[in-house]
Amino acid sequence: MTTPQPTLAGFMAFITNVMKVPPSALPPTSPFIRYAFANALAIVNPSLQAVCIPDHDAAGVSLNSGGWTIYAEAVYNLAAHNLIEYTPDQPGFRWFEKLRKKLNMNGFVSGVVQATSDESTSVSMVVQEAAKNFTLMNLQQMKTPYGRTYLGFAQSYGPTTWGITGGGGGGW
């Protein structure tokens, strides 16, 4: 059995069924769909192809009739983040503009919050080691649910977003 690979058709189904982007906001012929998908294919660690989602549970109940892999999910989620990041709106629509504003996509974030306090309260969160090596791209990916899902898959593979030790994670 061959491991199912992510496809453009699969990503288009993801756009429709998971992201719920209306066709009026993103026609299926938009070149940005292909660009977002190709960009994700270039970035997602291909080693994730080795992680398959089981077809059946111990009792023989079908779980994964679509043959999805963690790699495909990582690619589709990163491609979805890319789509939100830079797809222009169709004339007369502001779907992506509104979504980018809601997610603060144009706001600069230089890192993750480690501590905050005022006169009466104080909060401190543990910053995971991988976050200390986040690139500006990774920080931007944290702004969308799809980027965060992609980062979760990428970090599950290893201590950095590329699954290798040393150096900064998430770079080329």
Report in angstroms the alpha-carbon separations of 170 from 53, 59, 87, 144, 158: 24, 39, 22, 16, 12
Task: Give yes or no for residue 163 having a pLDDT over 60.
Answer: no
| 37-41, 57-61, 97-101, 122-126: range with lowest mean pLDDT | 122-126
Q: Which residue has the higher pLDDT, 144 or 6?
A: 6
Q: Which residue has the higher pLDDT, 112 or 149?
A: 149
* pTM for this model (two decimals): 0.75
* Confidence band for 166, pLDDT divided at 50, 70 and 90: very low
Average pLDDT over every residue of 115-132: 61
The residues spanned by each domain of the chain are 8-157
pLDDT at 70 (0 to 100): 87
* Confidence band for 108, pLDDT divided at 50, 70 and 90: low
pLDDT at 153 (0 to 100): 84
Mean pLDDT of the chain: 78
Task: Give yes or no for residue 127 having a pLDDT over 70.
Answer: no
Residue in 50, 43, 40 with CA at minimum distance from that of residue 11? 40
Is 133 within 8 Å of 169 (Cβ atoms)?
yes
Rounded to whole angstroms, the maximal C-alpha distance in the chain is 62
Task: Give yes or no for residue 157 having a pLDDT over 80.
Answer: no
- Tens-digit pLDDT profile for residues 39-98: 999 999 888 887 777 777 788 887 766 667 889 999 999 999 999 998 999 999 999 999
- Tens-digit pLDDT profile for residues 48-60: 887 777 777 788 8
